[in-house]
Structure 1
Amino acid sequence: MTDNDSKNIKYSITKYLSMREHSCHELLKKLTAKGYEKSLCEQRIAQFSKADIQSDLRYAEMIVRSRVAKGKGEQLIRNELSQHAIAPELIELAITEQDIDWDALASDVAHKKFGSKPAKDWQEQQKRNRFLLYRGFSHEQIRALKSVR
């Protein structure tokens, strides 16, 4: 490895982080795809993390805010963050810091998609349930919606 590679990695990380937050996993994936040595990339990413320039917590918070704004449920958000190798305690912290009422969000998403009319039959109710499950809402949140209707 040359000193030039180290500078290029530093430049690339800086460029990526200037656009938006990235997880360590995401940065490593992008840098190794460019052909840089994995161990050198890990060292550089660790330096950025230590200096608090890169933060998995800030990345997780950004994802939570973004997905909630799009009407996604807690399970979908947790799965997405897990796929980015975010530590479970950081996922929990990012979600609890936002203080989200998941039942209200599920209700808003259902109302936006299906309106205020109740399902006309069992099949339509199942279609609505599948939609909400696909969006990442739990069975309990979906059942709570049924009692409101």
Structure 2
Amino acid sequence: MRLSLRTFDLMDFMDLNEDLIPLLNKAYFFLKFRPRTEKEVRDYLYKKIRTTHWSRDGAEEVIKKLKDQELIDDKKFVDWFVRQRTTLKPKGQRLLTRELLQKGIAPELIEDYFSENSVDEETLAFQILEKRWSRFKSLDSKKRFEKAAKTIDKFG
């Protein structure tokens, strides 16, 4: 899933304070590169308002606007993030859960996602070991097994 920014009509901005439009544009720029969690956007906007005249209430208003436009959706972010991580950088459910919590996703959303969508950890473990097996070839079988177990544990 790729979240894309669409062209907005002037009507989309009518309910937003005119003073907040530059802050909203900063948020659009931040969202342009990849999907973001609500916490990531909030942290970004709070960092921007420290050196300007905007307030936290203004940032919250911008976040509400972005949610209304469906540009911030933590459920969609979880789906996108897990698919990216399992295809590009194979990681298990435990490590994915930790990363999602660090990004500010609610534990309930993570549990709901993994209860509906399972991660095939056996296949992921095989992919991880397949990439690194050549490094273990020269070791004796006991060391090879220990290294393989540590590698699998490292990637969740």
Superposition TM-score, scaled by structure 2 size: 0.72
Of the structure 1 ranges 77-86 and 120-129, higher mean CA displacement relative to structure 2 is found in 120-129
Q: CA deviation at 1:108?
A: 1.9
Q: Which amino acid aligns with 1:43?
A: E
**Which residue of structure 2 aligns with residue 112 of structure 1?**
131
Secondary structure of 1:45's match?
Answer: helix
Q: Which moved more, 1:35-44 or 1:100-109?
A: 35-44
Identify the residue that residue 73 of structure 1 maps to in structure 2.
92
Q: Does 43-52 or 94-103 show the bigger shift?
A: 94-103
**2:45 is the alignment partner of 1:26:** no
Q: Considering only aligned residues, what root-mean-square deviation do their CA atoms show, in Å? A: 2.5
Q: Which residues of structure 1 form unaligned runs of 5+?
A: 137-149
Q: Residues 27-74 of structure 1, C-alpha deviation per residue, up to 9 Å, x if partnerless?
A: 111112222533321232123223322101111111101110111111
**Aligned letter for 1:105?**
L
Residue 46 of structure 1 pairs with residue 64 of structure 2: yes
Q: How many residues of Structure 1 are paired with residues of Structure 2 in the alignment?
A: 134
Higher share in helix:
1
Q: What does 1:108-147 align with in structure 2 at a 5 Å threshold?
A: 108-114=127-133, 120-136=140-156
Deviation of 1:79 after TM superposition, in Å, equals: 0.4
Partner residue in 2 for 1:139: none
**Contact kept? 1:61, 1:95, Cα under 8 Å:** no
Name stretches of at least 5 consecutive residues in structure 2 with no aligned partner. Answer: 1-16
Query: TM-score normalised to the size of structure 1?
Result: 0.75
Q: Match for residue 12 of structure 1?
A: 26
* CA distance in 1 between partners of 2:34 and 2:128 (Å): 27
Preserved CA contact (<8 Å) 1:27 1:45: yes
